[in-house]
Structure 1
Amino acid sequence: MKKLAAAVLASTALILASCGQASTDEWALHGRDHQEQRYSPLDQINRENVAQLGLAWHYQFESDRGQEATPIQADGVIYTSVAWSVVYALDAETGELLWSYDPQVPREALADACCDAVNRGVALRRDRVFVGTLDGRLIALNSRTGELVWSVDTVDHSVPGRHYTITGAPRVVKDKIVIGNAGAEFGVRGYVTAYDAASGEQAWRFYLTPNPEGRADGAASDDVMRDVVQQTWSPGEWTISGGGGTAWDSMTYDPDTNLLFIGAGNGSPFDFYRRSGGQGDNLFLSSIVAVNPDTGAYVWHYQTSPSDSWDYTATQHMIATRLTINGQERDVLMQAPKNGYFYVLDRRTGELLSATPYAPVTWSTGVDMETGRPILAENAHYQTGTALLQPGPFGAHSWQAMSFSPRTGLVYIPVQLMGGGYARDPNFQRRPVGQNVAIQLPEFPQDQLAAIRAATTGQLVAWDPVAGRARWTVEHPYFLNGGTLVTAGDLVFQGNAEGHLVAYDATNGEQVWSYDAGTGIIAPPISYRINGQQYIAIMVGFGGAGAIVGRVVPDRPRMPGRLLVFRLGGTAEAPAYDPPPSAPIDVTGITSRGNADLGMAEYNRTCATCHGGNASVAYNADLRRSGALRSEELWRSVVIDGALEDNGMIAFRDVLTPREAENIRAYVLRHARQSQRRGEE
């Protein structure tokens, strides 16, 4: 317990962090430093000796859902979070559990989450640990004991029925804790809130879309909402749904300019319900917004995807650094958002310096450098029928963190090669449960689907932000892989969907080390040093948004998450996973009086969020294997009556009629029969 005693006082690392610096030895902030470079200056582990890297210790959690957290390490303690927003404190040298805290998130909150019950990490300031919970709370804990200090409800209750969640990590900005939220697809209005770290008192709130009722909110953003933002929206259904624009992941604080950069998300519903006659940019959707972190006052913005119609969020990781561009040193902000372009902005003014595709892009033919606007391809807004576009709604890069090495000058991006089909939903009506995006996901024939799956892969791209091109690329067989860490040992670490943590030479992409974690990895690694020993740590556990896309990720059951920690000469061993039994049911002779074609539309509106397109996800309750398929009564008990509500499967009695539920069963049965004929396990 010696580490607990040390944690009584703020460490040198935390004092430095509050001033915009970062300790060499510790990882006290989400991106290690405020600039979120995810670069470790430690070089004890390097290209010459990385082959000697072995497991130092591991800790296994009870949670078997997706593990997305970046651990925080300071004062000899690792703080991390798992699904359902549960927080753990562990001895960073030995893995001994010091304490854990369960905020008791109601399981029905999963119905408001687009992408599993995930949590991307905690924040640490002095003697307090902060976590955002899936049901919308921001909680402060005593870092020594895990005891609750304060808790605030961050959800805007001014409009009833808003389905907010929090999955992102809070950020420390001087004496404040800043948190955003998620839920755009379900019908909410996005905003970011700053709270006093000591008391939990709200300091300011910045809304990212206009008030649907046209009134002032008493927020720091009111003037810019009235003078700049409101005129870019037309009256329409969004005034009921809230407009979207949630800041569900990345924020970056820059001490040099005293600016907080906020990444804003997609609109809800999609653009033809937000723009009269196809006019209006719908600020601040899919934008980077710079605000004064002391007051929340607007400073500048840059919109990556005006009038977003594609779920091309700009909530992806942002990195602040200094680059020499055209012979001139510039303070820049870099982002690779979902839309496939890599952006370099002047972080003081928001001026666009470059925008170059880092992945295949078909929705746009380029970016006009004079206006900063994308040049749209024909039918980009799918106004004349279904459009097959790259990237698709999962984006060319999502929440998985990229990293930047000042030694190589390269950004290491986890790239997703995945297109998508878009079509307008002519029968859209806002629903109290489920997504409200007003698009239809087309269902592809099996031969076409096979080709799409074959083309859905991933990459690790080493991107030169000055030259605007890739220096090297590593190909991955699956599109969903982990975030990256780069070190002064010229190593890039990344976990992958197949379950390996891999080290690559940062200069050329050569694989120099690998460890089989036994289950998929989507989280980013960190590095720290204690008593002269450098460690690499990573959360493992497959899940999240990508796991709902059947047959383009490894087909595996959920496994308990683990924290794996490595050092040179490590000899520990983690026991092999014991996979739970999973076998498809025999659907021969099972019939339904439902209409499978009608069920397809109902399924896509109600079920695809969790169970995937084409009813094909094995990871998150593959419905083709569900025993409830055996009869209409069993199916209704789950879907309508809520027999599995304690497991997070809510009742849809207020959304679906029994006939609609049976149509969905008929649709799933059709896919179960197809799967059975193909002999899929």
Structure 2
Amino acid sequence: MLELRRHIAFLVLIFSAIFYSVCLHAAGPTVVNTESISANSADNWLSYGKDYKEQRYSELDQINVDNVSDLNLAWSFDTDFNRGLEATPVVIDGVLYLTGNWSVVYALDAKSGKLLWKYDPKVPREWGKMACCDVVNRGVAAYEGKIIFGTLDARLIALDAATGERIWEVLTADTSVYPYTITGAPRVAKGKVFIGNGGAEYGVRGYVSAYDVNTGEQQWRFYTVPANPADGFENQAMEAAAKTWTGEWWNYGGGGTVWDAIVYDDELDQLYIGVGNGSPWNAKVRSPDGGDNLYLSSIVALNPDNGDYLWHYQETPAESWDYTATQHIMLADMAFDGQERKVIWHAPKNGFFFVIDRTNGELLSAEPYSDVNWASHYDLETGRPVETKNARYLTKAQMIRPSSMGAHNWQAMAYSPQTGLVYIPAINSLFEYKSVKNYLHEWGQWNLGVYTQQQSVSDPILAQLLTSKITQGALLAWDPVKQEAAWEVPHKLTWNGGLLATAGGLVFQGAADGDVLAFRADNGEKLWSFNANTGVMAPPVTYTVNGEQYITILAGWGGAFGLIAGLEREVAPPPSRVLTFKLGGSALALPANPLKKIHEPPVRISSDQNILEEGRSLYYAYCSACHGTEVISNGAIPDLRHLPTAFHDNFNAIVLDGVMKKAGMVGFSDVLTEEQAFAIHAYILEQANIDRERRAQSSWWVAIKTWFFKIVAAVLGFAMTFV
């Protein structure tokens, strides 16, 4: 009997050791590589879109429709700046990695928010002027113990995930010659890092590159538009593309930057890139005798091993409206006409939702998901849009839907297999396109070939009310099988955040008005909200630590629309933050936003309407992208109406000579004369004094005027629905 007990004890010991070893191995550190990203861990968020399908769906359901009302702030973390945040955090075994303004990388404890390390690549502030759409960054990539990210000045850097120490760094573009930037998140697969760039508005030639994940050595590069044919072609794809261009487009760069969507297909071993707009926007300027201008506004499939061209589908031939195809590319399998197809779901700027066979680029379906008037439909036989008579603004201005902001921008979509719906941060917008006269290409400036300023509105209240009627935002649930909207939830403002869908039956989204929201995935019912004290653009992620589910989202207002359509707020923007929630969270409430500092302006320096109109035109050409329409800033960048007198006293030194270059305000003496600077200053002071006079009015008069303007805006908004 004793011997039997000894044998049993020995067997128990052996099985215990085996069980402990298995558990220890299972609980070991996650190695992020192609296989683990493909495996799609529910507890981590290993890649930009979670896995290679980039459906942004989490299998976690601890937070669900029945208990989401108990969701509360677990912790918050203030970044170093107060500009727009667009990043999707990567979460690995309880550590959260994210990027903030000026390409700074933060590693945080995902349970407590404690800073573990920070890496500042020290982007020169003057390079911020080359960023069309704020000093933002959409996130990092993780691979085999490395955190890899791109910088605003076009570097690609790999850090040690544990310490934040730099492993390697490469310059991905010649920024001494061309104004390239990087704001997108890299993608990683098969030991390679894939990265594109931005700068089409400034006159660059787009491309995507692959680098060795261990050394940073460039493996291959694929250009998206051809260069001067006299110099030869990099490959047959560029030779074929050149036949679709006319004139001397290479002098304008061509554009076609791959500034966001890059997706690896682990089933078909293909890499898909979304190609951007032309440079300049106006197709008549860059390609005067016509042509489709490949591969602008296209999805292009490449061999990930060597960058060879496989196939393409051009969504907007002869693109002329800033209709990029760089928006979120989502991979899926679906039944179509009785057959199972491997597809791409895509909702680009041009307002049509595309279903594309990802094995060969065949267009299966394209239906409008927003108001569209540039095309009536797509011909499925040819795969081409049928343009309306007012699509091209060749001889006169045209009011076009969508606007250059698009029906959907960089903010990520999500998909729920529970509902079969794709959730889109949709935009309904209108823009007046008008060709510039005597186009002049200027290095380092916006080169659009169209006028950016719309009709003048002097009163800030009316200006913002009209903006709310010209552009609206919504959470749109789209059925990709029926190719129609299932439901829609309107938002108060336009530029709303990316999306997350979960197995808890929920869809999470941040909003431009500062709310973080949770909706029922099946019908759009709002179940929960949290006030972030600032606009929220970034997409949420979810993960677990010690078996407890968390939701994290970055809150910081800015980006393209956040800058140019600055909102008139009574307070200044807070530090851009990381917000993390859990059921029963007990973090302290967020502090109140600081009061906005308003310095009364000097008196007007001109009442000459010709000077003021010239100043407005020049302001829109060189200033509005950062300081906002009608000189209304979002607050993160100085509001020029409210500057101290010293800035006005030294206006030419700042605007022409660039004495504040190190703070990011470069000089414009290469493109502006003193007379032109005077006109800009006169226009700024005109707007500043209009604002001062408005603030001096009695509250009851402001209320009456506001209600009157609301009626005017409502009438105009109703009229605009017929455009």
Query: Which TM-score band applies after superposition, normalised by the shorter structure?
Result: over 0.9
Counterparts of 1:253-652 in structure 2 under 5 Å? 253-269=264-280, 270-277=282-289, 279-446=290-457, 450-550=465-565, 557-583=572-598, 585-591=600-606, 595-619=611-635, 620-627=637-644, 631=648, 633-652=649-668
Counterparts of 1:24-63 in structure 2 under 5 Å? 24-63=42-81
State which drifts further: 85-94 or 550-559: 550-559
Quick one: distance in 1 between partners of 2:28 and 2:220?
Answer: 26
State which drifts further: 665-674 or 382-391: 665-674
Quick one: distance in 2 between partners of 1:72 and 1:513?
Answer: 24
1:588 to 1:455, Cα distance in 2 relative to 1, 3 A: same
CA contact (8 A) 2:603 2:685 kept: no
| 1:515-540 per-position Cα deviation (integer Å, ceiling 9, x unaligned) | 11111110000001121111111111
Structure 1 position 210, deviation (Å): 0.4
1:16 to 1:264, Cα distance in 2 relative to 1, 3 A: closer
CA contact (8 A) 1:77 1:89 kept: yes
Match of 1:23 in 2: 41
CA contact (8 A) 2:269 2:303 kept: yes
CA contact (8 A) 1:11 1:126 kept: no
Match of 2:218 in 1: 202
1:225 aligns with 2:225: no
Structure 1 position 451, deviation (Å): 3.8
Match of 1:664 among 680, 689, 708: 680
1:91 to 1:353, Cα distance in 2 relative to 1, 3 A: same
Structure 1 position 427, deviation (Å): 2.7
| 1:186-233 per-position Cα deviation (integer Å, ceiling 9, x unaligned) | 010000000000110101001001013542465xxx11111x201011
Q: Unmatched 5+ residue regions in structure 2?
A: 1-23, 698-723
Number of residue pairs aligned between Structure 1 and Structure 2? 666
Match of 2:103 in 1: 85
| 1:418-446 per-position Cα deviation (integer Å, ceiling 9, x unaligned) | 21111111132111231011111243143
Match of 1:3 in 2: none
AA in 2 matched with 1:223: Q
1:298 to 1:61, Cα distance in 2 relative to 1, 3 A: same
Quick one: distance in 2 between partners of 1:558 and 1:136?
Answer: 28
Counterparts of 1:160-239 in structure 2 under 5 Å? 161-212=177-228, 214-216=230-232, 218=234, 222-226=235-239, 228-236=240-248, 238-239=249-250
CA contact (8 A) 1:391 1:417 kept: yes
Quick one: distance in 1 between partners of 2:85 and 2:230?
Answer: 39
Q: Unmatched 5+ residue regions in structure 1?
A: 1-5
CA contact (8 A) 2:564 2:626 kept: no
Quick one: distance in 2 between partners of 1:254 and 1:388?
Answer: 38
SS at match of 1:439: coil
Match of 2:164 among 115, 125, 146: 146
TM-score by length of 1: 0.94
Quick one: distance in 2 between partners of 1:363 and 1:582?
Answer: 43
Between Structure 1 and Structure 2, which shows a larger proportion of helix residues?
2
CA contact (8 A) 1:55 1:565 kept: yes
| 1:377-403 per-position Cα deviation (integer Å, ceiling 9, x unaligned) | 113120121111111111111000010
Quick one: distance in 1 between partners of 2:696 and 2:410?
Answer: 31
State which drifts further: 555-564 or 649-658: 555-564
Match of 2:703 in 1: none
CA contact (8 A) 1:204 1:295 kept: yes
CA contact (8 A) 2:260 2:274 kept: yes
Structure 1 position 13, deviation (Å): 5.8
Match of 1:250 in 2: 261
Quick one: distance in 1 between partners of 2:250 and 2:586?
Answer: 59
Quick one: distance in 1 between partners of 2:579 and 2:634?
Answer: 25
SS at match of 2:651: helix
AA in 2 matched with 1:375: V
1:440 to 1:589, Cα distance in 2 relative to 1, 3 A: closer
SS at match of 2:96: strand
1:368 to 1:156, Cα distance in 2 relative to 1, 3 A: farther
AA in 1 matched with 2:241: V
Quick one: distance in 1 between partners of 2:161 and 2:604?
Answer: 58
1:348 to 1:140, Cα distance in 2 relative to 1, 3 A: same
Structure 1 position 600, deviation (Å): 2.3
| 1:24-79 per-position Cα deviation (integer Å, ceiling 9, x unaligned) | 21101100011100000111111011111111211111111101100000122100
Structure 1 position 325, deviation (Å): 1.8
Structure 1 position 591, deviation (Å): 4.1
1:326 to 1:628, Cα distance in 2 relative to 1, 3 A: farther
State which drifts further: 668-677 or 519-528: 668-677
Match of 2:114 among 84, 96, 99: 96
Quick one: distance in 1 between partners of 2:34 and 2:302?
Answer: 23
| 1:513-567 per-position Cα deviation (integer Å, ceiling 9, x unaligned) | 1111111110000001121111111111111111123366867533211111111
Structure 1 position 582, deviation (Å): 2.2
Question: Identical aligned pairs, as a percentage?
Answer: 46
AA in 1 matched with 2:44: E
CA contact (8 A) 1:274 1:282 kept: no
Structure 1 position 178, deviation (Å): 0.5
Structure 1 position 239, deviation (Å): 1.6
Match of 1:124 among 119, 139, 142: 142
Structure 1 position 469, deviation (Å): 0.9
1:508 to 1:264, Cα distance in 2 relative to 1, 3 A: same
CA contact (8 A) 2:275 2:299 kept: yes
| 1:420-479 per-position Cα deviation (integer Å, ceiling 9, x unaligned) | 111111132111231011111243143995545324221000100111111111111111
| 1:602-660 per-position Cα deviation (integer Å, ceiling 9, x unaligned) | 222211221223323343322222336974x5211210122322221111122211111
AA in 2 matched with 1:378: K
Structure with bigger gyration radius: 2
CA contact (8 A) 1:456 1:552 kept: no
CA contact (8 A) 1:479 1:553 kept: no
State which drifts further: 651-660 or 281-290: 651-660
CA contact (8 A) 2:179 2:199 kept: yes
CA contact (8 A) 2:472 2:491 kept: yes
CA contact (8 A) 1:320 1:334 kept: yes
CA contact (8 A) 1:478 1:554 kept: no
> What do you get for the CA RMSD once the two structures are aligned?
2.2
SS at match of 1:276: coil
Structure 1 position 667, deviation (Å): 2.0
SS at match of 1:424: coil
Quick one: distance in 2 between partners of 1:244 and 1:521?
Answer: 29
CA contact (8 A) 2:85 2:557 kept: yes
State which drifts further: 441-450 or 339-348: 441-450
